[in-house]
Amino acid sequence: MVVPMQPTTRDTRPAASEPPTVMAPVVSPSCALVCLEAMKPESTGCETGPGFPCNGSTPIAGAGDRSLAGVDSSNDVREFLATRRARITPQQAGLATYGGRRRVPGLRREEVALLAGVSVDYYNRLERGNLGGVSDSVLDAIAGALQLDEAEHAHLCDLARAANTTSRTRRPRVSQQQIRPGVQRILDGLTQMPAIVHNGRLDILSANMLGYALFSPIYVESGRPANHARFVFLDPRASAFYPDWDLAVDSTVDVLRTEAGRNPFDRNLSDLVGELSTRSETFRKRWAAHNVRLLRTGLKRYHHPVVGELSLDYEAMEFPADTGLTLTAYSAQPGTPSHDGLNLLASWAATIDQTHHADTGQTTNHPS
């Protein structure tokens, strides 16, 4: 299971509630052409990871190229259960209290055991990180006692599944996932809204033209695949791109923590978490909270360097035939400034794309 390594030198950058002051850039037509050119998937050649310049941040001194592979997942189990227990008061759990000073901020272990209908010794074993052989019914009872939401309940089950996984079934490092032609045709068919396909590590693996245009700031760096988490925590432009900075930071960490529960032996994810942990104090603090989240639908705000403020509804759809891949599409309510902004974004992307093809003699209209 992936957990952060402690750096040897402190990262002194501001916390998420105080993002770095960065003015949103004004993009000229010539700069826009370069920006859209940088979005192309074939623009590779930059190695990513700690110590490499294409991530937009200087690594913490002494961090080196640490890998987090092989860390015992029992620590994640212990901290997840302890943090969930600490947030539930006896009153919230419906337990009577008889005065006196409590030494713990939330429930005691014996109170969780009582609520879940298991022995105190058994629950102590679980919270020490030993989920081996635990039944689904016990997990459900623990989830009920700790008042876990859907994402947290699923995460607890993922942790238990990892605890019962033998070394023979652990998956090695895999190459970049491929987008099937049928999926790409679906993307290209969504001409009125931005759409991207990403994996659980938040690598953007493909997009339609509007998707590339919307997330063009993420594609400025030449490292591929473009990664949302690296952009949020390591690129100073991110604070201007996301007006709701704290929400963007929290949701990014929560999604990666959720993925770490699903795929605890993913070496690429381990390396990403290790890189972010050693280079960003903001990430490191959020990661230690063990919060998880399912992003299926909602509203997100962006400040695009070309078209300005956009408030977009999003819908996320998983592909059963491509485990781990999700298509997320963004739309704006008709008649709103954001809807006008999307139309402007489409015009800008089409103009830049046509200019590029005129210069290169290409005839396709696809940005890649």
Q: pLDDT tens digits, residue range 285-303?
A: 999 999 999 999 999 999 9
φ/ψ of residue 327, rounded to 5: -100, 125
165 or 25, higher pLDDT: 165
For residues 29-54, give the mean pLDDT. 40
In the beta sheet, which residues pair with residue 89? none
- Per-residue pLDDT, averaged over 271-280, amounts to 96
Q: Does residue 79 have a pLDDT over 60? A: yes
Q: Calculate the alpha carbon distances from 316 to 196, 257, 292, 325, 326 in Å.
A: 10, 18, 17, 10, 6
Spatial distance between the Cα atoms of 140 and 290, rounded to a whole number of angstroms = 19
DSSP 48-108: -STT-GGGSSPPPTT-TT---TT--THHHHHHHHHHHHHT--HHHHT----SS--SSSS--
Region 349-362 average pLDDT: 58
**Which alpha helices (DSSP H) does 303-367 contain, by range?**
337-360
Which one-letter DSSP state was computed for residue 149? -
Domain 29-68+178-360, CATH among 3.65.10.10, 3.30.10.20, 3.30.450.180, 3.30.1330.90: 3.30.450.180
Domain extent listing, the chain: 29-68+178-360, 74-169
Asked whether 339 and 307 are in contact (CB, 8 A), the reply is no
Residue linked to tokens 């699903």: 262
* Per-residue pLDDT, 329: 98
pLDDT in tens, 327-353: 999 999 999 999 999 999 999 988 876
Q: With contact defined as beta carbons under 8 Å apart, do 301 and 288 qualify? A: no
Burial (CB < 10 A; 0-12, 13-18, 19+), residue 70, is exposed
- Contacts with 341 (C-beta within 8 Å, 6 or more apart), sequence order: 304, 307, 308, 309, 310, 332
pLDDT at residue 149, as a whole number: 97
CB 352 within 8 Å of CB 32:
yes
Contact (Cβ atoms closer than 8 angstroms) between residue 118 and residue 145: no
Contacts of 16 (CB under 8 A, 6+ apart): 245, 246, 249, 250, 282, 286
Rg of the chain (C-alpha set): 23
- Predicted pLDDT at 169: 53
Q: Would you place residue 51 in the very low, low, confident or very high pLDDT band (cuts 50, 70, 90)? A: very low
Confidence band for 176, pLDDT divided at 50, 70 and 90:
low
Sign of the CA dihedral running 108, 111, 112, 118: positive
Judged against a pLDDT cut of 80, whether residue 62 lies above it is answered with no
Decide if pLDDT at 28 tops 90.
no
Helix, strand or coil for residue 10?
coil
pLDDT classification of 362: cutoffs 50, 70, 90: very low
Q: How confident is the model at residue 164 (pLDDT cuts 50, 70, 90)?
A: confident
Mean pLDDT, rounded, of the chain? 80
CA–CA dist 332, 338 (Å, integer):
6
Q: What pLDDT is recorded for position 74?
A: 84
Buried b (16+ CB within 10 A) or exposed e, 134-153: beeebbebbbebbebeebbb
Fold of 74-169: 434 Repressor (Amino-terminal Domain) (1.10.260)
